[in-house]
Amino acid sequence: QYGFDATDAGFIVSIFGLVGTAQLLFFVCYTSRFKDTQLILAGLFAMLLACIVMVHGERINLSSEVCYVIAILSIYACGYPVGNTSALGLFSKAAGSQPQGLLMGIFGSAGAGARIVFPILAGTIVQYLGSNVLFIILAICTLVTILFTQCGKKTLDIVTG
């Protein structure tokens, strides 16, 4: 759909997935310079960029191939590895010395459930309403998350030190 066959699209995703994995190897450098909330917001803004590019990329004369590459780069190489890892770290710091197993299990289960439900929901939205509607919905959800994170940033920074 975005100008690539399945093999090329898969290759692009895997390359940027490797870049995202490399990000995790240097994560200690990020956490020594930035607060968890700053990293979470950076990850969310990368995700928002992906949504915006997928909706408006062709309006600013980007080909569908370039839009796809920018979106996958934003999601798999930047947004998800930085944002998700920071959220887990913040959650762990906020829990402190309290037992974390149950809560981390719930957190992990919610993520696993989302990885099951979201593709089905996204496919249904694309089938009936189109991909632009999907990315607009995702952008709105991401913006709401950014606003909540920004509103709670001061408290989260105090709680996590």
Give the start-to-end residue ranges of the domains of the chain. 6-160
Name all contacts of 96-104 with Cβ < 8 Å and 24+ positions apart: none
Closest CA to 9 of 75, 73, 68, 82: 68
Percent of the chain scoring above 70 in pLDDT: 99
Residues 10-48: tens digit of each pLDDT:
999 999 999 999 988 988 999 899 999 999 999 999 999
**pLDDT at site 150:** 94
Give the pLDDT score at 2.
Answer: 77
Neighbours of 30 (CB within 10 A): 17
Highest mean pLDDT range out of 24-28, 91-95, 102-106, 124-128?
A: 124-128
Global pTM reads: 0.87
- pLDDT at residue 116, as a whole number: 96
pLDDT at 1 over 70: no
- What mean pLDDT comes out for the span 52-56? 94
* Amino acid 139: pLDDT: 97
- The DSSP-derived string for 82-130 is HHHHHHHHHHHHHHTTS--HHHHHHHHHHHHHHHHHHHHHHHHHHHHH-
Average pLDDT over residues 110-127: 95
